[in-house]
Every structure is written in structure tokens, then in C-alpha cells.
């Protein structure tokens, strides 16, 4: 390999996703720009008596095209369906011909915040109702959260580095950042990286609702998720997956790959403040942004667009605003800062992957995607949060923020590829 860490450059060459807005990156991006929302009444189970009765569900989805056969689909959890499918989409988009590649040099970091919650819930009912002898022999491999990463590698014989990140809502961004670092240090030439989540089940909805973290705007589902808005009342759960193909630059150039952007920096810190509440001054998040910018060799005033973590919770959005102001100072007023969770819902462990896909599309199109439902900007948020309508503007450098329960902070910096 011959190069040192600083000399090895990492580029994004493939995008794959599945979400409430569609099952490929181009479709999702078109819906984002049109201001559409994937949130609606929950249809997968009876929500009578639930405080929160809305979510961003994936519909019209059949994962079988991404699996060896239908039997493998039946033996895996919904979160694995999403992850394997998004990885397959990313592979198709990248143009990689795996028959011509050294598969020892290709790895997978595909994480999940919670894993197979649907399987856990269903098999617990079997245990209580029918006894331990009727629990499925596939229960454990179905529910463990590393299985999406492991099975995608198995199906495509990818023998490089492989594990599953788990850091709540920072999971997908951590997976991409760790994949970036793996290529930088020379342990792989290609990495598939992202996150997957499927928690729209009774236990998931009731558990988050019990924390008073979710919106109860049940009569207006498409207007319920409203990041940075004065009247926000909590997040709306989404589901799905997103996977990116990351490549060492010389490998991508040698095969004539299309390059979406260069992934240039990664920050990873902890608030060490509270089990679920972020640092109210945004100090931990600010350190992660600064670390990512330092790795990238990018000055704060060179950043054009931030895809914010902002989930539509009263405290969380403002803590992120504090972090942005702390790092960017007066330049914060010149940035476009938007949250796309108003459209996709909060995809938890998959959110960072989905939003990094959207950052790549934003840079490609020179358009900052809108924060929908931003009708009355919170007075504590003196930023350009791209209310309701996309903004055409030159985007050469983006920042992607993700923050998770436990105080986890993950940040990526991407820039326009220049040979």
C-alpha cells in the first residue's frame, strides 16, 4: 500500500438507501427537494391507546432482490432487510464489479442503534404463550445488531474489516467515520458503511413515548416533525437504512468510478454529561466538529452547509445551535443549516447514513435541502435553517452532525472532489 495516513484520500462512490420517501437515493432526494414528508399514521399495528400514533414507515418494500433467496429473508429481521437492501443499492450505484476485486480488501461497517427489536418482541410473546421449546432457533442471529453487517458481507464474500457500530442516533455516522479511518490507515481499499433501523413496533413506540421524547401531534402527521421551530414537541420515529461506498482515491480512479465527494474528516467525542440529555452548552458536539475540521484541514469559514442532527426536540435542537455558534462564530450566520428529519422522521441508528447520502446529493446539486415545517423559527436559533424551500447556493464543503443517547457525538466533513 505504501502511503501513510495523511496521503491516503477517501472518496464516496456509491449511495444506497431505503426510507419512507423511497428506496433509492435519487427518489429520496427528489422528495426532499419537493418538501414532501414520509410521516403518516402507523399502519403496521394497532396504535389505539398509544400517546404517539404516527411514524415514517417504509412501505412498498420487498427486500428479496438483495438476498440469495426468499428463505434467507424469512430468517432475518426487518432491520437486516433494510441494511442488506441499502448495501445492495449502494453496490449497484457504485459500479463496482466484485468479480474483478480483491475481496480481502473490501469491508463492511453497518451499524444499528437497537437491532432486531421486532424479533425480540415477537419471540418473547412465543416464550410466554407457548413455552421455551417453541422459541425460534433463529431468534439470536435475527436480533443481534451485527447481523446486517455480517450477512451483507457473507452474501457478497467481502472478507475485509467488518463490525457493527452501536451508538444510538450517532450510529450511522460513526460507522462511516470508522470506515473512513480504516481506509486512511491502509486496512482496506473499499468499505460499505452506514446504518439500519426498524423500531416501529409496539415496544419501540411505547418505550420512546414513555420518555416524553416523541411528538404527539397525531392529527397532523406531516407537520409533526419540525426541527428548529418554536412549536416543536418531540421527534417522530422513522425507519430504514442507508449505506455509502467509500473508496481509497487511487482505487476509485483506476476503475473510472464516479465520485460524489471526498470524505475528508471525522470527529468522535462524548459529552459525559447525562444519560439522554446533551450538554446544554454544546461543548461536546463542538469538540467533535472541531476534530472533524482539523482532520480535514478545513477552516470553519470554508464550510458552506451543515446537515444538522436536529430531531425536533425542545432541548436537543438548541444544544446543537449552541455548538454551531461556538465553532463557527460570525460565519454561522452565513451558513445554510438544515435538518431533513422533518421529511424522513428520525431514523435513529440509520439517520446519519441517510443524511450523509443527502449531503452528497446537496453538494452534487449545489442545493441546500429545506427544513420543512419551519413556520416560526425558535428565537434562540439565529441561523439560516433553510425554512421550507431549498436554497440554491455553492456547496464545496459540508458538515454532517449526529448525536446519540449516552452523550455520543459523531461528525463528518465532506468536500467537493478536486483531482
Catalytic residue numbers read 169, 309, 346
Residue 146: phi and psi, rounded to 5, are -85, -5
Query: Helix/strand/coil (H, E, C) string of the chain?
Result: CCCCHHHCCEEEEEEEEEECCECCHHHHHHHHHCCCCCCEECCCCCCCCCCCCEEECCCCCCHHHHCCCHHHHHCCCHHHHHHHHHHHHHHHHHCCCHHHCCHHHEEEEEECCCCCHHHHHHHHHHHHHHCHHHCCCCHHHHHCCCHHHHHHHHHHCCCCCEECCCECECHHHHHHHHHHHHHHCCCCCEEEEEEEECCCCHHHHHHHHHCCCECCCCCCHHHCCCCCECCCCCECEECEEEEEEEEEHHHHHHCCCCCCEEEEEEEEEECCCCCCCCCCCCHHHHHHHHHHHHHHCCCHHHCCEEECCCCCCHHHHHHHHHHHHHHHHHHHHHCEEECCHHHHCECHHHHHHHHHHHHHHHHHHCEECCECCCCCECCCCCCECCECCCEECCCCEEEEEEEECCCEEEEEEEECCCC
Amino acid at each position: 500500500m505504501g502511503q501513510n495516513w495523511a496521503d491516503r484520500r477517501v472518496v464516496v462512490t456509491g449511495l444506497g438507501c431505503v426510507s419512507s420517501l423511497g428506496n433509492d437515493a435519487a427518489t429520496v432526494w427528489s422528495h426532499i427537494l419537493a418538501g414532501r414528508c414520509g410521516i403518516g399514521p402507523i399502519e403496521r399495528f394497532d396504535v389505539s391507546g398509544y400517546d404517539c400514533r404516527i411514524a415514517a414507515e417504509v412501505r412498498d418494500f420487498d427486500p428479496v432482490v438483495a438476498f440469495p433467496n426468499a428463505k434467507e429473508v424469512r430468517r432475518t429481521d426487518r432491520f437486516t432487510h433494510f441494511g442488506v437492501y441499502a448495501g445492495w443499492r449502494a453496490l449497484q450505484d457504485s459500479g463496482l464489479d466484485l468479480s474483478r476485486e480483491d475481496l480481502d480488501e473490501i469491508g463492511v461497517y453497518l451499524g444499528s442503534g437497537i437491532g432486531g427489536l421486532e424479533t425480540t418482541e415477537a419471540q418473547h410473546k412465543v416464550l410466554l404463550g407457548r413455552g421455551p421449546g417453541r422459541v425460534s432457533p433463529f431468534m439470536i442471529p435475527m436480533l443481534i445488531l451485527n447481523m446486517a453487517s455480517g450477512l451483507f458481507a457473507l452474501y457478497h464474500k467481502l472478507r475485509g474489516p467488518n463490525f457493527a457500530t452501536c451508538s444510538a442516533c450517532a450510529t450511522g455516522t460513526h460507522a462511516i467515520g470508522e470506515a473512513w479511518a480504516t481506509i486512511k490507515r491502509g486496512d482496506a481499499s473499499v468499505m460499505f458503511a452506514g446504518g439500519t433501523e426498524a423500531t416501529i413496533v409496539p415496544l419501540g413506540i411505547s418505550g420512546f413515548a414513555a420518555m416524553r421524547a416523541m411528538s404527539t401531534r397525531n392529527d397532523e402527521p406531516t407537520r409533526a416533525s419540525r426541527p428548529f421551530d418554536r412549536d416543536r414537541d418531540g421527534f417522530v420515529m422513522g425507519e430504514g437504512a442507508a449505506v455509502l461506498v467509500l473508496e481509497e482515491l487511487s482505487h476509485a480512479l483506476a476503475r473510472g468510478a464516479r465520485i460524489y465527494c471526498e470524505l475528508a474528516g471525522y470527529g468522535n467525542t462524548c459529552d459525559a454529561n447525562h444519560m439522554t440529555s446533551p450538554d446544554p452548552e454544546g461543548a461536546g458536539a463542538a469538540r467533535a466538529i472541531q476534530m472533524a475540521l482539523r482532520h480535514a484541514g478545513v477552516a470553519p469559514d470554508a464550510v458552506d452547509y451543515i446537515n444538522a442532527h436536529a430531531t425536533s426536540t425542545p432541548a436537543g435542537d438548541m444544544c446543537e445551535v449552541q455548538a454551531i455558534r461556538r465553532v463557527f462564530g460570525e460565519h454561522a450566520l452565513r451558513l445554510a443549516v438544515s435538518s431533513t428529519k422533518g421529511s424522513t422522521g428520525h431514523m435513529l441508528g440509520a439517520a446519519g447514513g441517510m443524511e450523509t447520502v443527502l449531503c452528497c446529493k446537496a453538494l452534487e446539486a449545489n442545493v441546500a435541502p429545506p427544513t420543512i415545517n419551519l413556520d416560526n423559527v425558535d428565537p434562540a436559533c439565529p441561523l439560516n435553517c433553510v425554512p421550507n424551500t431549498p436554497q440554491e447556493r455553492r456547496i464545496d464543503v459540508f458538515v454532517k452532525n449526529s448525536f446519540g443517547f449516552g452523550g455520543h457525538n459523531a461528525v463528518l466533513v465532506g468536500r467537493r472532489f478536486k483531482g
